[in-house]
Structure 1
């Protein structure tokens, strides 16, 4: 640990950070704290299940408010990665892979369970098929780093991301927004609050986004990577006074977009196993595939949040949620006109959760006691047309996989904070989780399945039908101390113990040996930090340093063994060590100028990890110890500058420029350049707006990836098929939009 002493000294000296660029929507909150509106805005969050100023919360948390979300042009729940230090997103087959501080899920199977929880209005979205959803009419986004278990219903080891909708108030108001952009992008968004009186109100909101493909498919002559998504949400709220707040929410999201089609990199003398090579390897605009390409999904959800004040110091809350997702994804993974690797994933999931919280606050002491119940059912079916150009008897693999999983979880949790002095507070939290997982799985071949002119042959078992059941129980906990050095500076130290339940590998596998059971993984996180408001509230500085001890890490790896079909192993294959630093600065040097700077430094490596894959040079299992974790770049940075120029008493003109940089990251456990982003990449975004001073209307022009940077966001190891699919990020885009508020 000696070589890391300098990092800890810097962290203690400078103190703790979390991205905090959100603004409080309520001017009253600022006035109550006697803080000038001309400086850094007051930031109100609910990370500890009660409303607090961000500077009072001893947790690493990043917050983005409605203005940040609009200015950054976030289109869906996976768009925020470039803006938050040490947070990374990628998708394969429509399954999001989310990483916070190197902790994440690199499994593309729809049955996978990640260590990061996504929350929509306090209800967890556990299904990977439902975690990618459109963003619209939001109040804020909160990103909490590190284990979360003593305050939230769903236990997580890596962190939690909350998407919080704008709630109906007691006045009629709303907005309408329309936009047009490159590749015939058409967007429409709107919302309205309708008050009925006596504390009853309703808010409707919706979104429609369509865009032609940004790339050309030579095989068909048509556009590729089209976007077609829509969503609606309704919130009915009863809030007659401060003692009662009941919110019934429901919504539907529909996605009929194309699959994010890759370009194939041939690994057998520049070609794949069928001798095909990309006709335009240096031009990401050109694709050449004939298979299906889509990521279709339907997502329905409803939730009931109720809060009742039982006295001056006691509050009872109930959070009930139901979520259902249906996914039909069809992928031409090889990206060629031949049938080398084409897959269809069809998944249905539904979940129910119930959380109860009892909160006490008063006399220098606050406490939360919670109980949580969660039930999820998943049914998955996949159809794999591998080397389908070859007759079945000569080696084609028409693999069908059927699987199902039921997960039932019960937990109790609590956390207390006690003010030892008027400056020092101590926090302790404890959770006990009981998870029961039941699964079934079968993988089999069906001769002639992909040949409509020939009857199917008899089914041939590769992985015979099996049923599995196990129960996983564990304690997780949190201890923390925070100290107010002054009214403007908070320092804190925390130790968190997180737990991720065990489970079964029931994804796309081809041998009985791959159908493994994994035991729980555990993460102990140590963190130091400070949050400081400086220069008469003209600057907000947050810095954090952390160290993670990660044990029994659940790892999915593609095991390449010469002469065989690639296999997918899921095992408790490794330990890991993660450490890093996060820095965030937001300044408002004048009433018209804003400047923000975030960066994260990360060192995340496997420990004691010997893979089942065979090293062709030695004939021995590959040793991945010391390799960097997937989705863990050493350095990330985002910065922006924004200035508002008064035109006259009725008009303002605003210019905003952003630069977001992501360092080199790997997409597999092997730490190979061919399976990485190859190099760090930076993206420049611009936005210009003309708006009325009373916020009644706004006209904006924007451009993202201004210089048309080509950058890799994912790569998959399919070298036994003779290729590596390379997934490139979005090309440069531009557009304009008009917003009216009423």
Structure 2
């Protein structure tokens, strides 16, 4: 499906939805259910919140066959999830990053039940008993703080309940994929509840080994999560523990990326038999490529109703150990197998004071503390298959602390006019950072900085179910100390102090809801400065503040209940994201282009491409498609004494570029269609479902790994089908 075809279809359906709204009103359909969100750190109707929000409930997640957090991009226009091997990095409206380094972090904050998760190796995870996911678009620097330059993703799961309940489901699908999940909750006393949840997934990677022709790589992921909640009325406390283990090398099963300009991205001296460009195969050198992780999370939430306000405390400790080994040349040759274990520890403490509903003045105030340390170790793993083991190359660590205080006030000037003003002060430090040469440790100077991020909103409410707003918000991505790059570059061994990214965002928005219908629309403009960019030139890696950018666009979504059990939702976003000034942009060129002497030197070093700095202006931003959209439908109808639900979701994205310069490694436009048919018995206890993913069998690149040794790609899985059984009580 082309973009024009999608736009024509979506526009026709949107107009049909508006027309149907009038018909629905004439028929007197029930009011659309009020959607409650927590985008301003308190529960409010979505129509009253002056922020662009894609709110996805459990039914919508089921409709689109969403299993992992990254799957929500098919339901949220202007959102992408991209990978750098084991690191997952969201981008919202063009604001994201491809940097993976100690202390680096993402530009989009991910919160689970109010707890911040800054580790990019934890940014994608299986969704367990999720009630809703909210995608907040635009900088959230006041209420959510550092590294929410592009926005925030809020995941809300179910609490333990005193009423005994449970749900169990198992599915089997293409490539021998098995997923099981179970959840139980019960009351130990009238005010003490416990729950337990577990999930296990295993299956084959869809790619075949070019040497054997077999699907010989499997993944196995499992997790267990338990909680204890004490509810004393005005005071409640919830303690949670989660343990996750994964063994999943699918993101590392590369084939060779073929570029229209650069050609085949394999080493020039690699025989054709040692690599593949077929999306359904991988080079056997990747037999050594692994990604395993162990993750433990402890969270304590305490809430107290003070009458005039609610006080909440969020205390969290996370620890994750990841071991990975990457085939940098993407061939069967033993050129460079790169080991990259990462050991992450995170502690957060946040206090929130939110006003009780009712008074003309509503507020959210808070204090926040973060400690985050991700220790990188680097190895040559070339000797692993031969039994020689790993050879230590180096590593780095940049322990980060952040202290913040914030206040956000909304005052009702009248029944129709509201003004919001907020401010966050943050003090960030990087202390006791170091880099390794081999195992030898070299300390570097500390970095400290202060940041103010304000927010101002004017909102007009012409009716109870309609809002119009204009907002200004500032966001920032915290400073980086480049211990993984420039600190180690001879002869100066001088660390780059990489300043925070800054964005000033302006937005006009409209929201309304009524008889079986809801609509949101927004126009936005971002002034985006001091972009943190990773360079690799002359064999030296470094991170610098390089680019300036301008982003503007429009976005909208609508949903309508058409009657007779039929519902429709539609969303789309146009994003014009351009680097206005990008001096020294990293651009890859074939060694042969620089003459025979350079080509010979490259061959001796085992590389085929050089990364050269080029001054660019007015070029596309990385990972920023101009158009993204989705169209979903669901029909519920009685059948055989129960209820049958037929649902589907179509997602489309225009083309974009994976490379940081915005001019290389293009990902073409594509669509993804998910379908599901589910029958529930009359008591809603038993269900059986048949589902399909990527039903149109559209094959597209979902990751490009680029370096001087070679260019690798991973592709979308082909069409897949499955069946699921479930039981609830």
TM-score by length of 1: 0.86
Are 2:585 and 2:615, in contact at CA under 8 Å, matched by a contact in 1?
A: no
Structure 1 residues 627 and 503, CA gap change in structure 2 (3 angstroms): same
Question: Residue in 2 aligned with 1:520?
Answer: 500
Helix, strand or coil: the match of 2:444?
strand
In structure 1, which of residues 247, 252, 258 is the aligned counterpart of residue 238 of structure 2?
247
How far 1:702 moved relative to its partner?
0.4
How far 1:466 moved relative to its partner?
3.9
Question: Residue in 2 aligned with 1:433?
Answer: 426
**Residue 379 of structure 2 corresponds to residue 383 of structure 1:** yes
CA distance in 2, matches of 1:379, 1:232: 26
How far 1:329 moved relative to its partner?
1.1
Are 1:578 and 1:604, in contact at CA under 8 Å, matched by a contact in 2?
A: yes
Question: Residue in 2 aligned with 1:470?
Answer: 447
Structure 1 residues 427 and 268, CA gap change in structure 2 (3 angstroms): closer
**Residue 586 of structure 2 corresponds to residue 596 of structure 1:** no
CA distance in 1, matches of 2:278, 2:396: 39
CA distance in 2, matches of 1:712, 1:699: 33
**Residue 578 of structure 2 corresponds to residue 605 of structure 1:** yes
**Residue 142 of structure 2 corresponds to residue 150 of structure 1:** yes
Question: Residue in 2 aligned with 1:33?
Answer: none
Are 1:489 and 1:533, in contact at CA under 8 Å, matched by a contact in 2?
A: yes
In structure 1, which of residues 526, 529, 533 is the aligned counterpart of residue 509 of structure 2?
529
In structure 2, which of residues 100, 107, 123 is the aligned counterpart of residue 115 of structure 1?
107
Helix, strand or coil: the match of 1:608?
strand
Structure 1 residues 508 and 341, CA gap change in structure 2 (3 angstroms): farther
Structure 1 residues 110 and 692, CA gap change in structure 2 (3 angstroms): farther
Structure 1 residues 387 and 488, CA gap change in structure 2 (3 angstroms): same
Any idea what the Cα deviations from partners look like across 1:296-322, whole Å, max 9, x if unmatched?
1111111111111112x2221111111
Question: Residue in 1 aligned with 2:476?
Answer: 499
How far 1:63 moved relative to its partner?
1.1
Unaligned 5+ segments in structure 2 are 1-13, 15-27, 595-610
Any idea what the Cα deviations from partners look like across 1:33-76, whole Å, max 9, x if unmatched?
xxx98443221111222211111111111111112222222222
**Residue 149 of structure 2 corresponds to residue 139 of structure 1:** no
Question: Residue in 2 aligned with 1:739?
Answer: 726
Structure 1 residues 740 and 587, CA gap change in structure 2 (3 angstroms): same
List aligned pairs for 1:285-300, cutoff 5 A: 285-291=280-286, 292-300=288-296
CA distance in 2, matches of 1:741, 1:169: 15
**Residue 417 of structure 2 corresponds to residue 424 of structure 1:** yes
How far 1:591 moved relative to its partner?
4.2
How far 1:283 moved relative to its partner?
3.0
Question: Residue in 2 aligned with 1:332?
Answer: 327
Any idea what the Cα deviations from partners look like across 1:326-363, whole Å, max 9, x if unmatched?
10011223221102232111011111111112222342
Structure 1 residues 264 and 39, CA gap change in structure 2 (3 angstroms): same
Are 1:95 and 1:110, in contact at CA under 8 Å, matched by a contact in 2?
A: no
Residue correspondences, number: 671
In structure 1, which of residues 80, 100, 124 is the aligned counterpart of residue 72 of structure 2?
80
Are 1:379 and 1:404, in contact at CA under 8 Å, matched by a contact in 2?
A: yes
TM-score by length of 2: 0.87
Are 2:103 and 2:481, in contact at CA under 8 Å, matched by a contact in 1?
A: no
CA distance in 1, matches of 2:548, 2:264: 37
Are 2:36 and 2:43, in contact at CA under 8 Å, matched by a contact in 1?
A: yes
CA distance in 2, matches of 1:730, 1:520: 37
List aligned pairs for 1:192-211, cutoff 5 A: 192-211=184-203
Question: Residue in 1 aligned with 2:704?
Answer: 715
Are 2:619 and 2:663, in contact at CA under 8 Å, matched by a contact in 1?
A: no
In structure 2, which of residues 652, 667, 681 is the aligned counterpart of residue 692 of structure 1?
681
Structure 1 residues 63 and 278, CA gap change in structure 2 (3 angstroms): farther
List aligned pairs for 1:640-719, cutoff 5 A: 640-648=632-640, 650-673=641-664, 675-677=665-667, 679-718=668-707
How far 1:386 moved relative to its partner?
8.2
Any idea what the Cα deviations from partners look like across 1:281-306, whole Å, max 9, x if unmatched?
56311222224122111111111111
Are 1:433 and 1:474, in contact at CA under 8 Å, matched by a contact in 2?
A: yes
Are 1:339 and 1:388, in contact at CA under 8 Å, matched by a contact in 2?
A: no
Any idea what the Cα deviations from partners look like across 1:224-262, whole Å, max 9, x if unmatched?
553211111112111232x22221111111111124211
Are 2:102 and 2:396, in contact at CA under 8 Å, matched by a contact in 1?
A: no
Which shows bigger deviation, 592-601 or 259-268? Answer: 259-268
Are 1:497 and 1:523, in contact at CA under 8 Å, matched by a contact in 2?
A: yes
List aligned pairs for 1:336-375, cutoff 5 A: 336-361=331-356, 362-375=358-371
Are 1:111 and 1:380, in contact at CA under 8 Å, matched by a contact in 2?
A: no
Structure 1 residues 384 and 268, CA gap change in structure 2 (3 angstroms): farther
CA distance in 2, matches of 1:89, 1:45: 22
Are 2:206 and 2:280, in contact at CA under 8 Å, matched by a contact in 1?
A: yes
Unaligned 5+ segments in structure 1 are 1-13, 15-35, 390-396, 446-458
List aligned pairs for 1:376-415, cutoff 5 A: 376-384=372-380, 400-415=393-408
Helix, strand or coil: the match of 2:448?
strand
